[in-house]
Amino acid sequence: MSRRGSIDLTTTVAGVRFPSCFMNAAGARCVTREELEALGRSRTGAIVTKSMTVEPRSGNPEPRYYGFPTGSINSMGLPNLGYLAYARIIPELRKFGKPIIASVAGFVEEDFVKIARVINESRPDLIEVNLSCPNVPGEPQIGYDAQASERLLAKVRKVVSVPMGVKLPPYFDPAHQEKMVGVLERGGVEFLSLINSVGNGLVVDPDRESVVIKPKGGFGGLGGSIIKPVALANVRAFWKLFGGRLPIIGTGGVCSGSDAFEHFLCGATAVQVGTTLVEEGMGAFERLEHELASLLEKKGYASVLACRGKLKEL
């Protein structure tokens, strides 16, 4: 359990206790059995799997990830082992004694249902339904279509008995967030993970006069520091829209303890770490815990939950 000095860094999402409020973001170092076991041995507060599809996939051509000082761009194209492999691996990850979150994706509605039904039987602690993969050529992000999201959630909810949440794309207009509230309520969603990468950005290297990743002509999902204000805005907006009653896992730009603190002030209950984990490795968890605990102590907060949602408005 993550108690640093007198500061309590544990948290609870949808009734599930997490030994630390920091965990990997889906996609970051969580594709293979080896990576998932390394997460198990690390200080991550949960093991989040790569978004899984029905068939195993090798993903898009490389280079497909590029890190730069203020963030990252990726177009991985859902490389993963296929859901049957994760259904076998998940029970074996139990030995690490931390929650397991299975991230479920697909190309058509029936993929999500098929995967969710079988993965639910492997008993992850939570299922995160990914409504927001931006990197498959020709496939729009489901989370940008409220009706498609509603149809999908109605079907998936029926086959999931563990706590079910959704990973949402960033929204840039309050009307879109408001519209999703009803969809999420009617869909029986028990937690939110937000945001996914800011889709279809473009990073240019002026020296080479070139794009930096190969798929989709260089377009890809942005992560890291540069997306933090977008992430915070979405955490805050959904926290308010749900009156603080729906747990939110904040993702986007968590590079320091202070970044995590900002997510908690906006209403997050836990945070996920993507770009920083890819760039820094598993040691990031210990550093982040240390930085957050020092900051909370200095500010007189005894726990993560004590500062949740406490953002002041002027």
Stretch that binds ligand DHB, among 72-80, 82-90, 176-184, 295-303 (CB under 6 A): 72-80
Q: Does 224 bind ligand DHB (CB under 6 A)?
A: no
HSE toward the beta carbon, residue 64, CA cutoff 13 A: 15
Q: What is the three-class DSSP state of 199?
A: strand
Straight-line distance from the first to the last Cα atom of the chain, in angstroms, rounded to the nearest whole number? 37
Of 76-84, 247-255, 260-268, 281-289, which segment contacts ligand DHB by CB under 6 A? 76-84
Q: Does 49 bind ligand DHB (CB under 6 A)?
A: no
d(CA 8, CA 304): 7
Give min distance, CB of 199 to ligand DHB, in A. 7
Which DSSP symbol is given to 54?
Answer: S
Give the nearer residue to ligand DHB in terms of CB position, either 99 or 221: 221
CA count, 13 A, side-chain hemisphere, 220: 27
Cβ distance to ligand DHB smaller for residue 228 or 308:
228
Q: Which of these is catalytic: 132, 149, 193, 197?
A: 132
Q: Which residues of 77-106 are buried (b: 16+ CB within 10 A; e: fewer)?
A: bbbbbebbebbebbeebbebebbbbbbbbb
Is there a catalytic annotation at residue 133?
yes
Beta pairing partners, 67: 72
Interface residues for ligand DHB in 175-204 (CB under 6 A)?
196-197
* Residue type, position 45, single letter: G
Per the CB < 8 A criterion, the answer to whether 124 and 162 are in contact is yes
Spatial CA neighbour of 118 closest among 57, 165, 53: 53
State which residue, 109 or 286, has the beta carbon closest to ligand DHB.
109
Q: Is 255 part of the annotated catalytic residue set?
A: no
In 56-125, alpha helices (H): 83-93, 109-121
Which of 11, 24, 72, 135 forms a contact with ligand DHB (CB under 6 A)?
A: 135
Question: What is the smallest separation between the CB atom of 274 and ligand DHB, expressed in angstroms?
Answer: 9
- Write down the catalytic residue from 2, 51, 72, 133: 133
What x/- string results for residues 18 through 47 when contact with ligand DHB is judged by CB under 6 A? ---------x--------------------
CB of 290 to ligand DHB, least distance (A): 28
- Interface residue with ligand DHB among 53, 132, 149, 193 (CB under 6 A) is 132
Active site residues: 132-133
